[in-house]
Amino acid sequence: MPFEVVTLGETMVMVTPTTPESLETATAFSLDVGGAESNLALYLQEFGHATTWVSRLGDDPLGRRILGTIARHGVDTSFVELDPDAPTGLYVKDPGTHSTRVYYYRRGSAASRMGIDIVPTLPLAGARLVHLTGITPGLSDSCARLTEAVVDAVAGTGVALSFDVNFRPGVWPASVAAPVLERIANRCDLVLVGLDEAATLWGVETPEDVRKLLPHPGRVVVKDGAVGATEFRRTSDDHRTFLATPPVEVLEVVGAGDAFAAGYLHAFLCDLAPEESLAEGHRLAARALTTMGDYLREALTDD
């Protein structure tokens, strides 16, 4: 069957203290599943969009745990490979007084070994949207080439290509990431980026600065945390829409960006107006901000 949405990227096992307590003192932990692209796939599947997630996992208990968990939530995983020669990535959350730090253990992971050989296997026929993030090209040289090859494969086909910049300093330094992410973003149809990460990468100060740096996408969404989000949408001109972030009691910020992207892309697929699209992003981000986990734990909490 054709898939409406195709996402590609690494998902890892997430280790989190069961209470908002430092790793140095916590005694109880949970194992969950976390990855920007699979989080988005899970949200969009929940909205009713037929979604497949493409990746590679270690052929180990953690990899099989991830694969089974995501599949049970309805996302297609038939394009996920299990690699017997490389491990599944892992990351650990360390809740602090003011923010949560994340420690990655993903070097040499199965996902980092993905390469351009998988591009011909991608289920692009019939897709409406292909979604990538700026995490994948930072994983390895082969993943950087893969990201560019996917962009090449999608460009000009009529399939929309969305890109969440999602800069991760723990994956690669800003000096290396900045030109790569700018180049990829300017080849996509829709780009989401946080104003803070844009400032780190490119030295910009305002949403308008970001738009000047990324003139080619038909839509650019600049998120500014608790302030709000600004959409630039090319119509007869470059229409600008700002929507303030609604007040919410924040428990943890990790995962809110993925949720915002999913809400906004759901609106894109439904052809909603600019303000409605930003509102969908804010609504789903608020759901993530009020829980300790990524999508899967949020879903269990909501149930």
Domain ranges of the chain: 5-10+36-87+116-302
pLDDT at 303: 34
Cα dihedral across residues 269, 272, 278, 284: positive or negative: negative
As a whole-number percent, the residues of the chain with pLDDT over 70 amount to 91
Catalytic site positions: 258
pTM, to two decimals: 0.91
* Answer CATH for 5-10+36-87+116-302 from 3.30.1280.10, 3.40.1190.20, 3.90.1150.10, 3.30.530.20: 3.40.1190.20
45-49, 121-125, 238-242, 244-248: least confident range:
244-248
> What's the first-to-final CA gap in the chain, in angstroms?
29
- Provide, rounded to the nearest whole percent, the portion of the chain with pLDDT above 90: 76
Instruction: Give the residue carrying structure tokens 């090209």.
Output: 137
pLDDT of 92 higher than 60: yes
pLDDT at position 204 over 90: yes
Q: Alpha-carbon distance 4 to 142, whole Å?
A: 26
Task: Identify which of 172, 178, 124 has the alpha carbon closest to the alpha carbon of residue 150.
Answer: 124
pLDDT score, position 267: 97
When pLDDT is cut at 50, 70 and 90, the band that residue 28 belongs to is very high
Q: Point out the least confidently predicted range of 21-30, 45-54, 58-67.
A: 21-30
Note whether 161 and 132 are within 8 A (CB). Answer: yes
User: Looking at this protein, which amino acid is placed at residue 178?
Assistant: A
Mean local confidence (pLDDT), 32-50: 94
3-state SS, one letter per residue, for the chain: CCCCEEEECCCEEEEEECCCCCCCCCCCEEEEEECHHHHHHHHHHHCCCCEEEEEEEECCHHHHHHHHHHHHCCCECCCEEEECCCCCCEEEEEECCCCEEEEEECCCCCHHHCCHHHHHHCCCCCCCEEEEECCHHHHCHHHHHHHHHHHHHHCCCCCEEEEECCCCCCCCCHHHHHHHHHHHHCCCCEEEEEHHHHHHHHCCCCHHHHHHHCCCCCEEEEEECCCEEEEEEECCCEEEEEEECCCCCCCCCCCHHHHHHHHHHHHHHCCCCHHHHHHHHHHHHHHHHCCCCCHHHHHHHHC
**Per-residue confidence (pLDDT) for residue 97, from 0 to 100:** 53
Q: What is the pLDDT of residue 38?
A: 96
Q: For residues 148 and 156, what is the distance between their CA atoms, to the nearest angstrom?
A: 14
CA pair distance 133, 136, nearest whole angstrom: 6
- pLDDT tens across 136-188, in order? 999 999 999 999 999 999 998 999 999 999 999 989 999 999 999 999 999 99
